[in-house]
Amino acid sequence: MVDDMLRTPDAVRDAERWTAHNYHPLPVVISSAEGSWLTDVDGRRYLDCLAGYSALNFGHRHPQLIAAAHDQLDRLTLTSRAFIHDQFAVFCRELAQLCGKELVLPMNTGAEAVETAIKVARKWGYQVKGVPAGQANIVVAEGNFHGRTTTIVSFSTDADARDDFGPYTPGFTVVPYGDLDALTAAIDDHTVAVLIEPIQGEQGVVVPPEGYLPGVRRVCTERNVLFLADEIQSGLGRTGETFACAHEGVVPDMYLLGKALGGGIVPVSAVAANADVLGVLKPGQHGSTFGGNPLACAVATEVVRLLATGEFQRRSAELGERLHAGLRELLGRGLVAVRGRGLWAGLDIDPALMTGRQACERLMERGILAKDTHGSTIRLAPPLVITAEEIDHALAQLAAVLDPAASA
Ligand SMILES: Cc1ncc(COP(=O)(O)O)c(C=O)c1O
C-alpha cells in the first residue's frame, strides 16, 4: 500500500490532538486482536509482547472470558454494592480460595487495590496493633510503582511520577529494594505494613536477591507488621506461579491483585487477606460504585477458573525458560542485562547502540510490539497463550534489531 493511503498517520495525529499527553505511545493504531496477535487500522499484524502490561495474560479475547462477558451483558451489568447480585459471592469465594485467604474486597483499578491496602493497614494498625492515632507508618521500596493517586505518588521515587504533585501524603518510609537490613532498620513501633512488589515491574522487571522475600516475611511476623504484596503485575500466572511470592514459598498477609484479573475485558482489582485484617473495615468506611460489579465478577470468576487449571502458570514457566534462554544468547550482542521470571523479562539494551524507545520502534517495524521503560530497558510480557514458535519469532526480530548492521 502506498504511504499516503495509510490510515495510521491521521489516526495517530487525531489521538494526539484530542488527548492530554500523559503517555508517549508507539505510533501504531490497533483495531482488532485475537490471542497473541494485534491488527492495526491498515491491516498490519503485530505479535503482542506487552499484553497490556500483563492485563492480557490470557491473550486477547480469550473465548471463555468473552463468552462469560456476553452472557453477563445479556442479564445484569451493574447494581452497585447497595444490593447483592448473584455473581458476587461466587467470585469472592473462588478468588479467596485461589489466594488461600478468608476474604476478598473487589475494586476496579490497581491503584484502588493499593489504596485499599493502605487504608486497611492503617486501620488495622490503630485498632489491632495499638499504634497511636495518626502515627501509622508503611515501609516501601525505592523504585516502586504502585499506581498514580496522590497518596501513591507521594512515596514514588520516580521524579516523573511524583514531581509537582505535592503536597504529599505523609506516613511512608522508603528503603532500598532488596536490602533486608535497611528494611528491618526502618521498622519501628508505628510501622503497620511493608508494601512491596515481589518483582518490580515498571522498574524493569527487577527480581530481588534470593532470600529477600522470606526475610521480609520473617521480619513482618516478628515485628507484628503486615506484609502487603503488590502482585498486580507479577501475579496471576505471569512468572510461572499464581503469585510471584510463591517462588520462594512466601505467603504475604495481603495480596493486591489487578490487571489480568479483568481478563483484558474490564478493570477488576481486589485485595485478599484473612478476617483478622480485612475484618477491620465496617460499612461506610471504604467502597466503590463499580467495585465488584456483576460484569466484572462474571469475567473475573472465569479468570480465576482459568488459573485454577494451572495451565497458564505451566505455560509461563516452560515457555519462560525458552524466552530467557534466547535472551541470554543476546547478552554481549546488544543486550547488557536480562532479568525476570517466566514469561516476563526486562532487557537492558547497550545504550551505545540505541535507546529502549528506538528499539521498540524498530521492533514495531518488524511486527513486534513491546514497550520501553527507564531509558535503555525494554519489558517483554507476552500473553501466556503465546507459542514456542512465536517466542522464537520475537527473539529473531529482536536479534535483528540489535544487530547494528541490520538496524543501521
Ligand atoms: C505493581 C503495580 N501496582 C499497581 C499498579 C497500578 O495499576 P492501575 O494502572 O490499574 O491503577 C501497577 C500498574 O502498572 C503496577 O504495575
Query: Looking at this protein, which amino acid is placed at residue 333?
Result: R
The yes-or-no verdict on residue 4 having pLDDT over 90 is no
- What does the pLDDT look like over 293-350, one tens digit per residue? 999 999 999 999 999 999 999 999 999 999 999 999 999 999 999 999 999 999 999 9
Nearest CA, atom 2, ligand 1 = 146
Distance 108 CA to ligand 1 centre (A): 11
- What does the pLDDT look like over 39-83, one tens digit per residue? 999 999 999 999 999 999 999 999 999 999 999 999 999 999 999
pLDDT, mean of residues 231-256: 98
Report the residue among 146, 149, 261, 371 best suited for mutation to probe ligand 1: largest number of ligand atoms under 8 A from its CB.
146
Give CA–CA dist 232/373, Å, rounded: 17
Distance 232 CA to ligand 1 centre (A): 6
Closest atom of ligand 1 to CA, residue 201: 16
Distance 148 CA to ligand 1 centre (A): 8
The answer to whether the CB of 124 falls within 8 A of the CB of 306 is no
Closest CA to 252 of 283, 277, 289: 277
Longest CA span, the chain: 70
C-alpha torsion angle, residues 385, 26, 373, 401 (rounded to 10):
80
Q: Is 262 in the pocket of ligand 1 (CB under 6 A)?
A: no
- What does the pLDDT look like over 92-144, one tens digit per residue? 999 999 999 999 999 999 999 999 999 999 999 999 999 999 999 999 999 99
The answer to whether the CB of 199 falls within 8 A of the CB of 231 is no
Q: Is 198 in the pocket of ligand 1 (CB under 6 A)?
A: no
Instruction: Give, in degrees to the nearest 5, the angle at Cα 242 between 25 and 125.
Output: 90
Question: What is the Cα Rg of the chain in Å?
Answer: 21
Q: Is 109 in the pocket of ligand 1 (CB under 6 A)?
A: yes
Contacts of 235 (CB under 8 A, 6+ apart): 242, 243, 244, 255, 257, 260
Question: What is the structure's pLDDT at 117?
Answer: 99
Residue listed under C-alpha cell 516476563: 344
Q: Is 147 in the pocket of ligand 1 (CB under 6 A)?
A: yes
Long-range contacts of 351-357 (CB under 8 A, 24+ apart): 351/375, 351/376, 353/402, 353/404, 354/407, 357/24
Distance 369 CA to ligand 1 centre (A): 20
Residue listed under C-alpha cell 459471592: 89
Question: What is the structure's pLDDT at 379?
Answer: 96
Residues with catalytic function: 145, 230, 259
The yes-or-no verdict on residue 370 having pLDDT over 70 is yes
pTM, rounded to two decimals = 0.98
Q: Is the dihedral of CA 383, 384, 389, 394 positive or negative?
A: positive
Mean pLDDT for the chain overall? 97
Give CA–CA dist 173/212, Å, rounded: 18
Give CA–CA dist 205/346, Å, rounded: 5
